Each structure stands twice: as structure tokens, then as C-alpha cells.
Copies of this chain bind each other. A is one copy, B any other.
Amino acid sequence: MSRPTPISGFPEWLPPQRMIEQRVLDRIRTTFELYGFAPLETRAVEPLDQLLRKGETSKEVYVLRRLQADAGDHTDESLGLHFDLTVPLARYVLENAGRLQFPFRRYQIQKVWRGERPQEGRYREFVQADIDVVDRDTLSFQYEVEMPLVIGDALGGLPIPPVRIQVNNRKVCEGFYRGIGLSDPEAALRAVDRLDKIGPAGVAEQLIQTAGASRAQADACLALAEISTPDSSFVDKVAKLGVSHPLLDQGLAELAQVMDAAAEHAPGLCFAELKIARGLDYYTGTVYETQLRGYERFGSICSGGRYDNLAAAGRDRFPGVGISIGVTRLLGLLFNAGALSVSRSVPTCVLVALPSDERRAESERIAASLRARGIPTEVSPTAAKYGRQIRFAERRGIPYVWFPDSGEVKDIRSGDQVPADPASWQPPPADLHPQISGVTE
């Protein structure tokens, strides 16, 4: 076999990076569970008709085919890999509604696949970490308040730069657009959504051409989109624009609640950014995007919002609110920037040296005793000279080597060597497991 090469868009980490990823996922999961979100994992495939309900995403779907499918057997042809975790959730809730407790709070950490053309920062396979709350018929607005607090806690505990969650509310935009007399608020929203890409002049042009706006209406939309406050003072700024509409008032009150709760929970976490629109049509209330400070040019690493109509069957309707951390995207950009490191490349804390092949059982007993107390331990693979056994540990970053004949353990970083009992010796807590750290620039 010739040496294989990577496949574009399908990232793979080396073990030290995977250790960092696991630690990040553990922290995210622990936080989700602290808020009472239950774990869920859905199958990787969905029927194509489920995946294609929103026509715009059809180009991204990977379809499955059994290599040796019998002629005429098309049963698998109708399956595709999921491209997010929201469509599977909607399907799962409908399928299992009778067996779930509502409001249903679940988190889901899985790979998703998109058949996109490979390009910088675009992955074809990546991990998402989602939380959603779904209820039957009606959903408490309070969950829209809760989402950014959970995300703030989950990301705040990681050795990554601080995040800034940008919050808006679709009702603010739609109410404002209706208040100034625009009849197609969706078209206006799509135009404003492109602000960062095409600039104010471009957005104004698009508002006039696709949303039927006058120049004055376009200017008003841009004035709204310019509003950005670290607290609920956006309410006064919007008021100064002199537009009034019941939906606008409701949206402003909701957004102010989100901002006030965030200010109490984690000052500086949330910003009201009235230009945030989110591309997808299905959001109906609060929407979220998240910037990693210092990495703003890479775009949002965590997004979501309130949706009212994602899942419905017969008379059952399931509104929800959710947010999704793009874990691979986040780690990919930090790995590329060299901004994360781990203290060793294996979980092992102690290497038990092997004095001779005949004495292996003795070394294994020491290892078993350490493992029984939660200390990750390997036994040296060969009874080489001790210098070589120490280098085995050094190359992997294993901090301690245990010598059975002298009954001593050596910190190979400092050279300190002390007598030790396998039944009671304990490494310093910081050495027990690999330490992840953010690299300050």
C-alpha cells in the first residue's frame, strides 16, 4: 500500500489534539448536564425527504448507496447523512413524542456531514454540540433567556479566548420593518443579513431592489442594524428612530429581558446587535451568534435561535429554541493558530520500569495498584537500559518513572527521586491527567 494522504474537508487530529477536543467536549457536556439537559444521540442518517424539506440545503447532502445493492433494491437510496442536529431532533421528537416529557431539554454532540466544495475553514465532516428545549403547543420565552447563559458557562470554562454572544430578536426586525411600511420583511431581513459581506450601500441597494424599500426606508433599516449595545440601552436607541409597531415593542421587551439576565449572570457576555439576522427562515424570536474575541474574522462559532414551526404532525406542534457550538470549527481555528496545548501526548502519568523480563509480574503488580487508585500507568514494553526506558517516558511527556528494584519514583522533569509505596503514592493533582492550556500570544 502506498502512503495515504488526507482527504480535504475531513479533518483528523493527532492524539494530543484529540485529548484537547475530548476535554473540551467533556466540559461542554458537563455544563449542559448541570442545566438539566438530557443526552440524546440520533442515527447518522435521515430519509432524504426529511433532509430536503428546506430546499436550499439540498446541495449539501451526502446520499448513501450500498455498494453491492441488488438491482431494483433502492431501500438505501433514500437515506442521506444528516447535515445538522436540528432536523434529526425535529424528526426524533415527532417519532417519540409519546415517550418524552415536555418541555424536552436535550443536548446532542455528534458529527454532521455536508457535501460542500472544500475550501479554507469549510469542513465536510465536523462535530456540533447542540442544546434545544422543545415543548408541545407553546414554549416558555424563558428558555430564550437561558440559552446564552448555558453557552457562556460552557465556553467560559475552556482555555480559549473569551466569547461575545450577539443577540437579536426577529420580532424587533420584523416589527420595525412593518412599522416603517415594508410589506416583505423576510426580503428585508435577507438583505440586512448580508451587511458584513456587501456593506451598507450594498444592503441599501438590495433593500430597494428586492424588498420594495424607498431610500428613506432603506436608511431606517440600516440605522436599526447599526445599533449595538452591551446592555438593554438599545431600547432607547430604537425609540429614537421613531418607529412604532406592536411586534417591535414585544421584540424589544424580550430582547431586554435576555440582556438583563445575561448582565446579571455574566457581565460582558452578551451584546444586543440589531444587525444579526441569521440566514435561516425558520427563526421567529431571539437569535444568537457568537464571536471568539481576536478571531472575529472567522465568523460565528456558535449560533441558534427560537423556532416555532420546525416540527409539526397532524395537530401536534412543537416550538423550540436551540443553539449549536461548532466544535470542530472552533478547535480547527485555535489549532491552526497554535493557541491550545496539552502537557503530554498520552494519558499516562507513570511509567513503571522493567528491571528484567523475568520481573515483569512485579512491575505489572505496581501498575495495577496505581491504576486501582485512578493513576494512569503503563509498564515499560522492554527491559532495556533504564536510560532508554526513561527516554520512552520523555518522548511521550510521561512525568514519572517508577523503579521497582529501588522502590522509588522519579519526576523525570526535575530529576527528583523519592521512595514510594504503590498502595499510597499520589502525584500532585496537576500531574494526574494531561493539562490543557491556552497559549497567550
A residues sitting closer than 8 Å to B (CB atoms) are 1-7, 10-15, 18-19, 21-22, 33-45, 47-48, 50, 53, 58-69, 76, 79-81, 91-92, 94-96, 99-101, 103, 105-106, 111, 113, 115, 125, 140, 142-143, 153, 261, 264-265, 311-314, 345-348, 360-361, 364, 368, 371, 374-379, 381-382, 395-396
- Smallest CB separation, A3 vs chain B (Å): 5
Q: Is the CB of B58 within 8 A of A62?
A: no
A379 to B143, CA, bound (A): 10
A41: which B residues are within 8 A, CB to CB? 12-13, 18, 21
Given A63-B64, A111-B44, A376-B35, residue A312 in contact with residue B19 (CB < 8 A)? no
Q: Is the CB of B125 within 8 A of A348?
A: no
Q: Is the CB of B364 within 8 A of A101?
A: no
Q: Can you add 8 more A-B contacts, CB < 8 Å, to A38-B345, A38-B347?
A: A2-B313, A2-B314, A4-B91, A7-B45, A19-B39, A34-B376, A62-B67, A264-B361
| Stoichiometry, copies per complex | 2
- Smallest CB separation, A280 vs chain B (Å): 18
A11 to B92, CA, bound (A): 12
Q: Is the CB of B101 within 8 A of A76?
A: no
Return the chain B residue nearest A93 by Cβ.
B4
- Smallest CB separation, A82 vs chain B (Å): 11
Main secondary structure of the interface of A (DSSP, over half): mixed
Q: Is the CB of A68 within 8 A of B64?
A: no
- Smallest CB separation, A245 vs chain B (Å): 25
Q: Is the CB of A346 within 8 A of B105?
A: yes
Q: Which of A63, A80, A345, A360 has its CB near the most chain B CB atoms (within 10 A)?
A: A63
A19 to B379, CA, bound (A): 33
Q: Is the CB of A64 within 8 A of B61?
A: no
Return the chain B residue nearest A59 by Cβ.
B68
- Smallest CB separation, A341 vs chain B (Å): 16
Contact of A346 among B38, B48, B153 (CB under 8 A): B38
A379: which B residues are within 8 A, CB to CB? 142
